[in-house]
Amino acid sequence: MRVATNAAGLVAQVLTGEVWPPLADRHGFRVGPDGQPFALPGMGGMTLGAACGDPATGYASDHLEPGASVRHRDPGANMAVQFLTCVGNEVTMASGPAAGQRGHVIGQHAYVLVDFPEPGAQQITTGDQVTIQAVGQGLRLTDHDTIGVKNCSPGLIEQMPGGTRPDGRLEVHVAARIPAEAIGAGVGMISEYANTDLMGAYAGLGEDLSLGLEGLRIGDIVALADQDHRFGRGYRAGYLTIGVISTGQCMMFGHGPGPSSLLSGPAEAFALVDDPDANLATWYHDTTGAQ
């Protein structure tokens, strides 16, 4: 993105975490939109077979978290990991057979979510340690005072197409536009933690549930209409939030594929360009397995 930032003034912090297990309870089942019971994997652990550029929905899964789901064992340190880690930050495996392999953060979901290339990803399991180089909170676009930046590494901003236009607006390429009715669980939470679930993307379920979002892909850059995420996530007419789809398929009602918040401000401060290549896979996910 051709845009002036304060990136030169940011510091990086080295954080640690571990691939955190999926969590369940003895009752097993949860319920879907029509009361249908389900017991499906997706959240926590090391999830294989869904990566940036792949469809977000269409899996037998709930709260699909692509790749490694990372937390820190200490509650206070965990909040540092969740708040300070940004999309695009580099993560290195620090233990286990995949030690030394590098991946990138694609978002937060009460876990930090890390995309690792195949085939190395298959060597990673629950309990493996990771090292995160966290940088990005505090980032500002110095020529766009009304736009807040969240959870966004300086490297991601550099690689995204677009930038400051002659008319002063910020050009952002997006793979999809999301109506305000789609905003589900996650509304009312802080913007630096977890993400916003999108309703209306229940592949294979009723037409009356659909908001036409079944084509979303993991890693898609999306524009959320009437959303102000500068100081927490809420509705504000005339505002716009740019996010990245970091989680996928949900069976749980009121939940769905979720964007982590990246940029937020008045809609008139943005110039959106519809671009199917606006996906993290274009800039980060290495499908060749090369290091």
Kindly list the residues in this chain that would bind another protein in the complex (CB under 8 A): 31-33, 35, 179-189, 197, 199-200, 206, 208-209, 211, 226, 228-236, 252-255
- Minimum CB distance to another protein, residue 236 (Å): 7
What is the closest distance, in whole angstroms, from the C-beta atom of residue 184 to another protein in the complex? 5
Parallel, antiparallel, or unpaired for β 112-115 and 162-164? Answer: unpaired
Closer by beta carbon to another protein, 136 or else 184:
184
Q: How near is the Cβ of 193 to another protein at its closest, in Å?
A: 13
The rounded distance, in Å, linking the Cα atoms of 134 and 160 is 19
Rank residues 209 and 267 by Cβ distance to another protein and give the closer one. 209
- Measured between alpha carbons, how far is 101 from 253 in angstroms, rounded to an integer? 36
Q: Which is nearer to another protein, 217 or 233 (CB)?
A: 233
Whole-number Cα distances in Å, 64 to 232, 241, 275: 23, 22, 24
**Among 287, 53, 63, which Cα is nearest to 175's?**
53
Choice between 173 and 255, CB closer to another protein: 255
- When the beta carbons of 22 and 234 are compared against another protein, the nearer one is 234
12 φ/ψ sector (left φ>0, alpha ψ -120 to 50, else beta): beta
One-letter amino acid at 127 equals G
Distance in Å, CB of 181 to another protein, minimum: 5
Q: For tokens 């880690």, name the residue.
A: 85
Q: Which amino acid is at 116?
A: F
Least distance from C-beta 218 to another protein, angstroms?
A: 20
CB 261 → another protein: shortest distance, Å? 11
Structure tokens given for 88: 């695009």
Q: Among residues 168 and 188, whose Cβ is nearest to another protein?
A: 188
Residues 218 and 240: beta-carbon distance below 8 Å: no
Radius of gyration of the chain (CA): 18
